[in-house]
A and B are shown apart, each in its own frame.
Chain A
Amino acid sequence: MTKTSGATATGESLLVVEDLAVHFRTGKRREPIKAVDGISYELNEGEALAIVGESGSGKSVSVRALLGLVAEGGSVASGTARYRGEDLLRMPRRRMQRIRGLDIAMVFQDAMQSLNPTLTLEQQLVEHQLWHRLCDRLTARERSIEMLGKMGIPQPERRIKAFPFQLSGGLRQRAMIAMAMVTDPKILVADEPTTAVDVTLQRQILDLLAQIKEQGTSIIMITHDLGVAKDLCDRVAVMYHGKIVEQATMEKFIVDAQDPYSQSLLAATIEVGDVVESISVEPAPGPSDDGAKSDGGSTISAADEPDADATAESDPAVVTMRAEGVSRVFHSKAGTVRAVNDVSLDLRRGETVGLVGESGSGKSTLARIFLDLIGWSQGSVQFEGANVATMPGRERKAIRREMQAVFQNATGSLLPHYSAIDNVIEPLNIHRIGGPAGRRKRAIELLLRVGIPEDRINHYPRQFSGGQQQRIEIARALAMDPEILVCDEPTSALDVSVQAQILELFSDLRTEMNLTCLFISHNLAVIEKVSDRVAVMRQGWIVELARTADLFGDPRHPYTRQLLNAVLPVKRESVVLDNAVPLPEHEGTSLVEVGPDHWVRLDDEDKEEPAA
């Protein structure tokens, strides 16, 4: 949301870093790796500084060096870091111990890893208060409970006795921040605090940090996400290959970045609104009730309405794959989980359907159902009109070839003991397509097409960069010339600049090969860019399904609006969607048509404000 305006509190200089360099030894005879290669910046009281960079830029290492937490093999090579005049890098150990946690506190990315699993919250919140001799145990406990409450944890006096694994992800993250703040430090360093979390939780954490800033603590935030940086911070320093290439106030940076790398970073950052130009704030006139169906789900069939407005490539009359009323239930010791609930979705030839949702929404499960990797408890799945479940085994195996997948973690998804080209040939081997020579030829073609140079086709996956590995994975998926390509978060683990390249490759390929795609992501901007139609999932239900322009231009379901509101803009203006949208009349749980090819699923609960 809004941050305190650019005027920093007192402007007094808290931390001055000059020419900091951190080197890692790699072996007796080799050159040290210069993880941080001479950076300088300042942090003033009451302000929030973002250190932004992609992986390998050295941003994490640089702040760890401030507290003497550099990993094994690394050491500070030169430079100073003066905290209120004292050089942190040359302090005696005792003094540094005093500063850690008391003056300067750090929180890391993953609360589950950062909290000791065998100690209670109380123990972990109280211990350093005692180490720093701030007060006695009883008072420390009081302060801890108070801080937990301030961080938004309900019933803190009860919660404090819990172990970390007993809390939900969001509460854990708050507890971790509470632990850092309970000693009232002057500086809080947050290393990617929102990277592993859902959009709604991200919003909450950023609000929490804003609150902390307002109460006087300065913040250094490490992130690779420009939207996050812009939301919270007043100033930004961009790191690349160990150097700070640009430093400026946030506003100036976004509007007028000077350095070429910064410019490319900004250019590569895609946002919601890039594709769909205007996001209307006014709700469209009330929808008709004609489309309302009773619960039990209904098929959204394009066959009913030949659609003149469909994107040029998609052929609405041909439905390649269809799920009707599909549900999938998982039974476990913890209970029964309804991963997918009564989902009906068509994949029309040539189109890309974007599937968006937070973790636990069921999108991955649905993808696997489409890939026939797991079964479904109810409903039917049809491929080119034929029911998959009742197909004879041979036929079913044959159609499996038409559905291929690209996963998120390319490093893990490629066979590590096969070379790149062998990886691409493997599906052809499995299904015995063509002869050995033909397979090899096709594999080489594909690898070249995705941008892997010919002299490296015999290299092994670990010898390639993350982006290249993803390309190889795409080549492998296309080897079978499938009808349908399912992409499950293919770019989520990649740096922004690489992501842009991969998405471009993806766009080109799907046009060239007339692929039908199911593209899954939690990133709305990516979805907006690649999809023809979009389905929004929550807790196993599809809550809204529409053409891209309609979903982003005129979102109807409260949850969709909530998601869009949580998006952090970078270059664009922030748009707040009003949540008070008059919902169409509905009975119980039902699917309502609110526009051409635009469906919304409403529950009784949706009559009120959606839960946070």
Chain B
Amino acid sequence: MSTPEALEALGEEIEPAAPEPTDPAAARSTKSQSQFSLAWKRFGRNKLSLISLVFIVLLVLIAILAPLVATHDPIALDVSKTLLKPGVEGHLLGTDPLGRDVFSRLIFGLRTALIVGFVAELAALALAIVIGLAAGYAGGRAEQLLMGFTDVMYAFPGYLFSVILVTVIGREIGAVILAIAIASWVGQARLVRAQTLTLKGRDFIEAARAMGASGPRIALRYILPNAMGPILVATSFGIPGAIATEAGLSLLGLGVQPPTPSWGSMLTEGIEYTMVAPHLMLAPAVLFAATLLAFNWVGDGIREAFDTTGVSR
């Protein structure tokens, strides 16, 4: 359920780095310890998150090397070899109703998913940071823009908006990415804005102004770095959100245009054969779930790592 609203709801759980209490344990250490190095250490202690991170790196590598890893051409049809069981004739996971190798489709589906996930999220994030920061710090037009979008988006149930967008923009992978990004930036921008507002009231910002720092300097150099924790968390939840949105769209028949493999369409194609050939649905479902879980655990790990108040953990 990684809709934009849920994302924001999650974000509200995260405090920007609260004024850290003086930490005598840290004082005893002889090395300087920035917030990030500290967060990284804490992250490292979380076994689950660490494993998930490694897993993701592995997935990325596989996706990049997809043509090498896949055993067959994912879109090659072969009607003489339909619905083979896994392990038969060199098809690691069997074939689908059109004779295409499931394993290869899975790998290329991974590639699609990761591309959509990363690119859509990064685009949304960039926009979210720019508008959110401006809205939170300076108000003005950025704020009005954001508020306007928010009102409409809040009334527009999340996916519905992407669905409509896709019908408008089309089903090229670029278009799908764009649709997803447009649907999700608002939630993240609100998060950035909320963090900015909270940080704006903190003492060091007033001190910065007393020093004579200019607005942009304050926003970019003092506020943004301190909001990075929650922003990173939002990103690591945003990526699986984007992947899930794309798969969902494919499920409805509105995702990335076939024949480009997508896990979502693999699921729809497989549902009719649940009894006969469950591996058609099982394979993408498992890998899909594993990917999402990994990202979520990393996100949780980041959130705990930055959390000084001890609420998340």
Residues on A close to B: CB < 8 A? 371, 373, 397, 400-401, 404-405, 407, 409, 411-417, 419, 426-427, 430-431, 455, 458-466, 469, 473, 476, 480
Q: Which of B15-23, B183-191, B274-282 is found at the contact surface with chain A? A: B15-23
A463 touches B33 (CB 8 A): yes
Determine if B34 is an interface residue (Cβ-Cβ < 8 Å).
Answer: yes
- The residue on B at minimum CB distance from A426 is B211
How close is B46's CB to chain A, nearest CB, in angstroms?
14
Is B207 part of the contact surface with A, judged by Cβ < 8 Å? Answer: yes
How far apart are A506's CB and chain B's nearest CB, in angstroms? 17
- For residue A416, which residues in chain B have a CB less than 8 angstroms away from its CB? 17, 19-20, 35, 204, 226
Query: Contacts A459-B32, A460-B34, A462-B22 given: A412-B204 contact, CB under 8 Å?
Result: yes
Q: B225 — nearest CB in chain A belongs to which residue? A: A417
Say yes or no: B208 contacts A407, CB within 8 Å.
no
Contact: B203 with A415, CB < 8 Å?
Answer: no
Selected contact of A413 from candidates B17, B203, B214, CB within 8 Å: B203
Chain A nearest CB, measured from B210 CB (Å): 4
- What is the minimal beta-carbon distance from A517 to any residue of chain B, in angstroms? 15
A469 and B22 within 8 A (CB): yes
Q: State the CA gap A497–B23 with chains docked (Å).
A: 20
Asked if residues A415 and B204 are in contact (CB atoms below 8 Å), the reply is yes
Residues of A within 8 A of B203 (CB): 407, 409, 412-413
With known contacts A404-B211, A417-B226, A430-B217, A462–B23 Cβ distance under 8 A: yes
Q: B213 an interface residue at 8 Å Cβ cutoff? A: yes
Interface centre among A373, A404, A431, A459 (most CB of B within 10 A): A459
B58 CB-CB contact with A under 8 Å = no
CB-nearest residue of chain A to B217: A430
Q: How far is the CA of A257 from the CA of B217 in the complex (A)?
A: 53
* Chain B residues near A412 (CB-CB < 8 A): 19, 202-204
- B 1-30 binary contact with A (CB < 8 Å = 1; else 0): 000000000000000010111111011011
Interface residues of B in 193-208 (CB under 8 A from A): 202-204, 206-208
Contacts A462-B23, A463-B23, A464-B22; A371 near B210 (Cβ below 8 A): yes
Contacts A409-B19, A431-B212, A476-B211 known; list 10 others, CB within 8 Å. Answer: A405-B207, A407-B203, A416-B226, A417-B222, A426-B211, A430-B212, A430-B214, A459-B32, A460-B32, A460-B33
B35 adjacent to A407 (CB under 8 Å):
no
| B209 located at the interface, meaning its Cβ lies under 8 Å from any Cβ of chain A in the complex | yes
User: In the bound complex, how far is the Cα of B35 from the Cα of A416, in angstroms?
Assistant: 8
Q: Given the complex, which residues of B lie within 8 Å of A409, measured CB to CB?
A: 19, 203
Q: Which residues of A contact B34 (CB under 8 A)?
A: 417, 419, 460
- Inter-chain CA distance A461–B32, complex, in Å, is 10
Q: Are the C-beta atoms of A458 and B32 separated by less than 8 Å?
A: yes
Pairs A–B under 8 Å by Cβ, sample size 15: A397-B212, A401-B212, A409-B203, A412-B204, A415-B222, A416-B17, A416-B35, A417-B35, A426-B213, A460-B33, A460-B35, A462-B23, A463-B23, A463-B27, A465-B27
- B20 close to A404 (CB less than 8 A): no
Q: Give the distance in Å from the alpha carbon of A238 to the alpha carbon of B222 in the complex.
A: 42
Complex-state Cα separation, A405 to B35, whole angstroms? 25
Question: Is B208 a contact partner of A405 (Cβ separation < 8 A)?
Answer: no
A603 to B226 alpha-carbon distance, docked (Å): 49
Question: Which residues of B have CB within 8 Å of A411?
Answer: 19-22
- A463 near B19: Cβ-Cβ < 8 Å: no
| B21 close to A462 (CB less than 8 A) | yes
Considering the chains assembled together, what is the distance between the CA atoms of A473 and B208 in angstroms?
12
Also in contact, A465 and B211, with CB within 8 A (given A413-B203, A419-B34): no
Instruction: Specify which chain B residues have a CB less than 8 angstroms from the CB of A397 in the assembled complex.
Output: 212
CB proximity of B96 to chain A, nearest CB, Å: 51
Report whether B22 and A430 are in contact in the complex, using a CB–CB cutoff of 8 Å.
Answer: no
- CA A566 to CA B198, docked complex, whole Å: 37
Q: Of A400, A417, A469, which is in contact with the most chain B CB atoms at under 10 Å from its CB?
A: A417
**A480–B212 Cα gap in the complex (Å)?**
11
